[in-house]
């Protein structure tokens, strides 16, 4: 299987190098978009339209209140039960999305931190060599 060997993956042309290119700008953009989506999920779960947050028009999905008739009106009772159930399911699914996005955000943040730490370690290692040869200025 031939993969691109531009440094972003281990393709046939760079099997021995083991290099992975981390595009920090792209990862930061993805992380920022996930954080924005996560905020919108929380807004929707609270019953606010994310496209018009200045005019809240609803209730949280898990707290939908309906009045489809009196208690003896069986179709109304069935509708109320179904809406309450569906509202709870929607809220559960949104909570799962929120958890998933939080996990992805943490993972991307860790990738960026690890990349930064590796860059610092590589810089320190290259500088360390200059101290061994005596070419570095004395502190």
Three-state SS for 113-137 is: HHHHHHHHHHHHHHHHHHHHHCCCC
Measured in whole angstroms, how far is the alpha carbon of residue 135 from the centre of its chain?
Answer: 46
pLDDT at 99: 94
Q: What is the pTM of this model?
A: 0.61
pLDDT at 3: 41
Q: Which spans in the chain are helix H?
A: 24-45, 74-133
Segments in the chain below pLDDT 50: 1-14, 136, 139
Query: Whose CA is closest to 44, among 104, 85, 97, 105?
Result: 97
Main-chain dihedrals φ then ψ at residue 6, nearest 5 degrees: -95, 15
Q: Which two tokens stand for residue 59?
A: 């209730």
Identify whether the C-beta of residue 37 lies closer than 8 Å to the C-beta of residue 30: no
pLDDT at 45: 84
pLDDT at 103: 93
């Amino acid at each position: 299987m031939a993969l691109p060997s531009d440094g972003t993956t281990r393709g046939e042309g760079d099997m021995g190098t083991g290099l992975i290119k981390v595009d920090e700008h792209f990862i930061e953009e993805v992380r920022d978009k996930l954080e924005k989506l996560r905020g919108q999920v929380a807004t929707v779960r609270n019953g606010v339209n994310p496209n018009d947050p200045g005019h809240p028009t609803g209730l949280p999905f898990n707290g939908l209140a309906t009045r489809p008739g009196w208690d003896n009106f069986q179709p109304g009772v069935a509708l109320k039960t179904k809406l309450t159930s569906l509202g709870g399911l929607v809220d559960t699914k949104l909570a799962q999305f929120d958890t998933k996005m939080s996990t992805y955000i943490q993972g991307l943040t860790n990738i960026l931190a690890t990349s930064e730490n590796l860059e610092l370690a590589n810089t320190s290692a290259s500088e360390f060599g200059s101290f061994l040869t005596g070419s570095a200025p004395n502190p």
